[in-house]
């Protein structure tokens, strides 16, 4: 018996040693990028337990003159409520929500600064902008198109992130969605120091599907490829699909080309024209991303995230001296090639929905567009008609739920390992 215990102890010791030197798993941006987490937490709580819109005037589902339940649980009639994250279950009718605006072929060299807008200024129509800067706390601009035609995303701690205490970065997403196709971009990452996270991804805040390129400052030569299926706050996350690719160079020193092919049967990740990874749908049945997603670039502070995230990205992101250091993710160009480009003769979202918008209201405010208000609990008016996105009341809860999943999964794994080895 003592001999068996000794062998078990040796095996356990070796297993733990391997675990310590193995790369930490990638992190789903929808849960751990703090600004994505805000959106996901709102969507998760947009409906009541009975399936009605959370802040509908008078309770219940949305009224006919404000028919769409936004992803934040408010009623309205313009794109802030009816597109993207609209909740059909809480809306006036099953077809109140607008169809998603699907991708067209785009070869963007960032010659036109007007094609990128902040979410608070976006009117919801993809013909007016190609890129949308997501909610970013603080007063500083963290995403800009420069005079030399580069899209630059900035991470600094001139102001501290209100939910993490770390730096504030930026996420920029496409105004259109894509179901299958190719995305390619020439990027110089910002991952020059531990804690910084640079990403080029496809992601759905609705379904939780996600396909990633991520590079963290802990090792800027490690190009991490990953995908997630149906990630939802509070649910267990499958971390088994990550593959680390050592490209033998520092990705923060120069521009390199990243390409991702996504079809109904396979995903391919390319780096500087060389195929690095292929995953077949038949190999991951039940875990293969298959819902429309938006294209996004991101830079965020993983070093001040939860314990698991900080270990993955590199702990305690440095902003020395005296919080003046800034990290920049630079994109030279991007190409989006959908498998089936949008070619509708009736301009999006269609005559029916345009009429619905013109005749409708946003909780009492006629077609306010996308502003920077947040609405009031109990079904009051939305200030500026932003669908309730700009408030931050649920962000901490979303982040906490995600962290609980990681901690719970780690404890469960340790328990199983100990039981098997020491039985």
CA 353/CA 77 separation, integer angstroms: 9
Q: Which of 58, 54, 52 is nearest to 92 (CA)?
A: 52
C-beta separation of 371 from 120 below 8 A: yes
Q: Is 210 a catalytic residue?
A: yes
CA 32/CA 18 separation, integer angstroms: 25
DSSP SS3 for 211: strand
Residues whose CB is less than 8 angstroms from the CB of residue 266 and which lie 6 or more positions away in sequence, other chains included:
278, 279, 280, 281
Q: Is 184 a catalytic residue?
A: no
Number of H helices and E strands in the chain, helices first, is 7, 18
C-beta separation of 266 from 283 below 8 A: no
Sheet strand arrangement including 170-178: 116-118, 131-133, 170-178, 293-301, 196-203, 210-216, 222-228, 243-246
**How distant, in Å, are the alpha carbons of 117, 140, 219, 244 from that of 145?**
10, 15, 27, 31
Given the residues 214, 311, 326, 342, the one annotated as active site: 214
For the record, the structure tokens of 199 come out as: 């990403």
Write out the H or E segment, with its range, that includes residue 8: helix 2-21
CA 229/CA 238 separation, integer angstroms: 8
Instruction: Determine how many CB atoms are found less than 10 A away from the CB of residue 127.
Output: 12
Instruction: Determine how many CB atoms are found less than 10 A away from the CB of residue 13.
Output: 11
Given the residues 184, 210, 326, 342, the one annotated as active site: 210
CA 386/CA 363 separation, integer angstroms: 11
- Residues comprising the chain, all counted: 423
Torsion of CA 79, 83, 86, 92, to 10 degrees: 70
DSSP SS3 for 39: helix
The catalytic residues are 210, 214
């Amino acid at each position: 018996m003592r001999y068996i215990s000794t062998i078990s102890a040796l095996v356990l010791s070796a297993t733990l040693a391997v675990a310590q030197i193995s790369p930490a798993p990638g992190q789903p941006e929808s849960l751990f990028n703090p600004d994505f987490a805000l959106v996901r937490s709102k969507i998760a709580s947009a409906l009541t337990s009975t399936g009605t819109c959370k802040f509908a005037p008078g309770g219940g589902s949305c009224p006919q003159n404000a028919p769409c339940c936004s992803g934040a649980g408010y009623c309205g009639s313009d794109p802030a409520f009816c597109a993207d994250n609209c909740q059909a279950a809480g809306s006036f009718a099953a077809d109140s929500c607008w169809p998603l605006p699907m991708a067209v072929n785009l070869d963007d060299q960032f010659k036109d600064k007007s094609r990128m807008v902040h979410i608070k200024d976006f009117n919801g129509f993809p013909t007016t902008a190609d890129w949308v800067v997501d909610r970013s706390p603080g007063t500083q601009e963290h995403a800009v198109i420069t005079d030399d035609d580069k899209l630059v995303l900035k991470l600094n701690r001139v102001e501290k992130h209100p939910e993490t205490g770390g730096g504030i970065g930026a996420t920029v997403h496409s105004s259109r969605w894509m179901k299958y196709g190719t995305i390619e971009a020439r990027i110089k990452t910002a991952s020059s120091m531990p804690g910084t996270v640079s990403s080029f991804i496809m992601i759905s805040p609705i379904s939780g599907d996600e396909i990633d390129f991520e590079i963290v400052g802990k090792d800027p030569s490690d190009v991490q490829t990953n995908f997630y299926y149906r990630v939802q706050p509070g649910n267990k996350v499958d971390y088994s699909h990550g593959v680390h690719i050592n490209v033998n160079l520092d990705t923060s020193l120069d521009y390199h080309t990243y390409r991702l092919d996504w079809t109904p049967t396979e995903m391919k990740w390319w780096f500087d024209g060389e195929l690095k990874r292929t995953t077949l749908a038949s190999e991951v049945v039940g875990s293969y991303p298959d819902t429309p997603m938006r294209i996004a670039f991101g830079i965020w502070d993983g070093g001040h995230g939860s314990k698991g995230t900080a270990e993955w990205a590199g702990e305690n992101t440095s902003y020395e001296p005296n919080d003046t250091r800034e990290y920049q993710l630079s994109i030279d160009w991007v190409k989006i090639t959908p498998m089936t480009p949008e070619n509708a003769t009736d301009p999006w979202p269609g005559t029916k929905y345009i009429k619905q918008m013109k005749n409708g209201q946003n909780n009492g405010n006629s077609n306010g567009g996308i502003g920077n208000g947040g609405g009031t609990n109990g079904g009051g008016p939305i200030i500026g008609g932003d669908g309730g996105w700009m408030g931050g009341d649920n962000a901490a809860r979303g982040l906490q739920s995600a962290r609980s999943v990681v901690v719970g999964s780690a404890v469960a794994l340790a328990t199983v390992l100990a039981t098997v080895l020491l039985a």
